[in-house]
Structure 1
Amino acid sequence: MRLFLVDDDPLVLESLSIILGHDPYFQVLGVANNGEEALASLEKLTVDIVLLDIQMPGMGGITACEKIKETWPQIKVVMLTTFHDYQNIHLSLKAGASGYLLKSDDTPKQKETLKAVFGGLSIISTQALKGFQEETKEALLTHREQELMILVANGFSNKEMAEKLSISEGTVRNSLSVILEKLMLRDRTQLAIYYWQRKTGQEP
C-alpha cells in the first residue's frame, strides 16, 4: 500500500514514517507539511492513501482533502487528527475522506484502519466516533436543559435551581428526568461527572 503523509508536526511525520515504514505492507512514498506541498508532490507520485492532518498552516486538511478527491478521485484520504468534534468529522466526510483516525489511536488500530480503507471501507475511529456521539447527544439538549446540567454539576439543589431559573421544583425534576434520558445517564451524580469530564476534555 503506497502512502503519503501530511502533517505540520515534523515529529508526527517522522514517527509515522518509521512505524509504517517498518511494516512491509506499507510503503511511505513521501511527506508534506501542509496542503499546498501535498498537492504539488502528488502530481509526481502514484499514491493509494493520503494520511492527512486537519489543522495546518496554509491549506488545511479539509480543503486539501476536497482538492485531492477532485483531482485524483481514486486516491483515498484518511484524516489523522486530535479533533473528534462533530464539525470536523462532518466536514471531513463531506470533503470525501474515507477514514477518520485520532492521533491517540494505537498503532495497530491505525494500521487496521488503513487496510480497511484500502479495501474499500469507510472507517471512523472508535474514539472519534464516541466523541461525535457524545456531542450529538448534547446537541439534543435545549438551552434550558443545558443550564440545568451546569447547575447540577455545580452542586445546586432542585430548590436552588428553581429559584435561580424562576421555575417550579416540579419543572426542575421533570427536566432533569428528560436530560438523564437524553444522555443515557442514571442519576444527577452521573450527570455532574459527565459534565465535568466533557468540560475538561476527558473521556466520559
Structure 2
Amino acid sequence: MIRVLLVDDQTLIRQGIAMLLELEPDLEVVGAVGDGRAAIEAVERLHPDVVLMDVRMPGMDGVTATRELRRRFPDVGVIILTTFDDDEYVFEGLKAGARGYLLKDISSEEMAEAVRTVARGEALIQPSIARKVVAEFLRLAVSAPAAPERMTPKSPNALTERELDVLKALARGMSNKEIAAALVITEGTVKTHISNILAKLDVRDRTQAVLKAQQLRLLEEG
C-alpha cells in the first residue's frame, strides 16, 4: 500500500480527494491536514510515502512546507497541487524539491497514477506546467548576467546527443512512452538514457535533472 497525506486548507477538497484515492486498492490516505506546519507534524507522525500539497494556504504555504519536508524527510515524495493562476509558485515549488506538479482539474485516475509514479521515486510534471517551467528557464537564461559554460562533448560527464534529446523531452514534460515514440526507441532504452542523465548530472530525479540542465544551459538550441 502507498501511504498518502493530503494537505489543503479547504476541507471539501481534502474530503473529495480522499474519497477518490480510497477507491484505488493500492492507495491509503493516512491523514489530511490544512496547512504546511501541520503537514510537517503529520509526516513525522504518520510516515506517508507521498504528500499531496496545496500551495496557497494560511500560515506556512506549500512551497515552504515542501522545502522543509525535503530537508527533514528526503524519502517522502511531494506532489504540489496548483491552479492555472498559481504560475509564480511553479518554479519555486520545483526548486523547493517537489517531485510532482499537477493541476487540480485532473481526473482521479491521473492523480492516482501520479501518486504511484512519485512513490516509485520518479518525477512527474504535467505537460501544460512543463511548458511554463521551460518558459521560466528561458526567461532566466536571457536575464542572467552570466552563466556557467555549457557542457561540451569533451567534458568528462558530457551527455551524448541522444541523452540531450531525452533531456529536452523531459523538460517538455513527456512520459517515457511518449519519448520512446518520438525518438523511435524502446521504453527500456529511454529508462537507460534517463539513468545515465541522472548519474552524469549528479541528481536524484527527472525534475532535478531539468533544473540542473537549465543551470548548465543544456536546453538551449545549437
- Secondary structure of the residue that 1:3 maps to in structure 2? strand
Equivalent positions of 1:133-172 (< 5 A) are 133=134
Residue by residue, what CA displacement relative to the aligned partner does 1:176-202 show, whole Å, maximum 9, x if unpaired?
Answer: xxxxxxxxxxxxxxxxxxxxxxxxxxx
CA RMSD after TM alignment: 2.3
Matched letter for residue 127 of structure 1: S
Asked if the contact 2:91–2:136 (Cα under 8 Å) also holds between the matched residues in 1, the reply is: no
- Secondary structure of the residue that 1:44 maps to in structure 2? helix
Matched letter for residue 51 of structure 1: L
| Count of residues in correspondence between the two structures | 142
Asked if the contact 2:8–2:35 (Cα under 8 Å) also holds between the matched residues in 1, the reply is: yes
**TM-score, normalisation: structure 2:** 0.58
Is it true that 1:58 corresponds to 2:59 in the alignment?
yes
User: Which structure's relative contact order is higher, taking Cα pairs within 8 Å and 6+ residues apart?
Assistant: 2
Is it true that 1:74 corresponds to 2:75 in the alignment?
yes
Instruction: Find the structure with the greater CA-based Rg.
Output: 1
Q: Cα distance, 1:46 vs. partner?
A: 1.5
1-structure distance, mates of 2:46, 2:117: 22
Q: Which runs of 4+ in 1 moved over 3 A?
A: 83-87, 130-141
Q: Which residue of 2 aligns with 1:93?
A: 94
Q: Cα distance, 1:136 vs. partner?
A: 6.6
Matched letter for residue 99 of structure 1: G
Asked if the contact 2:118–2:124 (Cα under 8 Å) also holds between the matched residues in 1, the reply is: yes
Q: Which residue of 1 aligns with 2:34?
A: 33
- Secondary structure of the residue that 1:120 maps to in structure 2? coil
Residue by residue, what CA displacement relative to the aligned partner does 1:105-144 show, whole Å, maximum 9, x if unpaired?
Answer: 1222111211111112111012322444567778999xxx
Q: Which residue of 2 aligns with 1:23?
A: 24
Equivalent positions of 1:174-189 (< 5 A) are none
Residue by residue, what CA displacement relative to the aligned partner does 1:147-192 show, whole Å, maximum 9, x if unpaired?
Answer: xxxxxxxxxxxxxxxxxxxxxxxxxxxxxxxxxxxxxxxxxxxxxx
Q: Which residue of 1 aligns with 2:13?
A: 12
Asked if the contact 1:86–1:135 (Cα under 8 Å) also holds between the matched residues in 2, the reply is: no
2-structure distance, mates of 1:91, 1:56: 15
**Structure 1 regions of 5+ residues with no counterpart?**
142-204
